[in-house]
Structures are given as structure tokens and as C-alpha cells.
Amino acid sequence: MRRIPFALALLTAVFLIACNVESGLRGLNPDVESDWVLHPAWWQSDTLADWGFFLIFPSLYESVLLSHFMSLDERSAAIFFLLSPLLTIAVTSFVVFLVAKFLIRFSRPAKWFQASS
């Protein structure tokens, strides 16, 4: 039972990384005649690529807030924007870990209740 939250967080991170990679390989415009459309590989999934596209928006918000409050130059802001999907994935996985740990902890009956029955 102790490994379930960690496993869920790891699976979440792998899933979000796969979505991000598929979105990056497909590109921003899926209607353009590209290799993605003309010669799809067995692992390509438009659904995962669409979900990966929406991972860009938290990264944009993180980049805008950081550059606004810390007054970064263009190069530092660009580097942070490229690394911000990793931050989004890490935060999301951590939230999944905490929620799973909370649900497992409070789904078990209390010890005092088990002893009295």
C-alpha cells in the first residue's frame, strides 16, 4: 500500500512526458501535410498530442509570471520557458502523489474502530 502513491505519481509523469513528446513531434499545426500525417508510425496518437498541446499553457503562465516578477532577460526567459514543462510535470506528479497518499491514509478504518469490533 505504501508504494501505490509513488507508482501513480510515476505513471502520471510518464504519461505527461509522452503527451509532451507527441505534441512536440506533431507540431503546432496538425492539418499541415507533414510526416506525422502522411506516414504515421505505430506509436503516434493524435489524442495524446492534443493533450500535450495543452501542457504549453501552464508553461506560458509560469514563464510570464517569472519574467514579470524577476525581470529576466530574453535568454533566461527562453531557457526557463523550455524547462517549464518539466516543472509542470513534476508539480502535477507531486499533487497526484499527495492526493493518492491522502486517499489511502483516510480510506482505511481507524485502529480504534477495528479494536472495538
Give the start-to-end residue ranges of the domains of the chain. Answer: 4-27+42-106
What is the predicted pLDDT for the residue at 52?
86
Percent of the chain with pLDDT over 90: 26
**Mean pLDDT, all residues of the chain:** 81
What is the predicted pLDDT for the residue at 72?
75
CA distance 20 to 22: 6
Digitized pLDDT (tens) for each residue of the chain, 117 residues in all: 789 999 999 999 999 999 988 888 776 666 667 676 677 776 777 788 888 888 888 888 877 787 778 877 778 878 888 888 888 999 999 999 999 999 988 887 666 556 555
Q: 88: closest CA among 116, 55, 115, 64?
A: 55
Give every CB contact of residue 44 below 8 A, 6+ residues apart in sequence: 22, 25, 26, 36
Give every CB contact of residue 52 below 8 A, 6+ residues apart in sequence: 16, 18, 19, 20, 21, 22, 23, 24
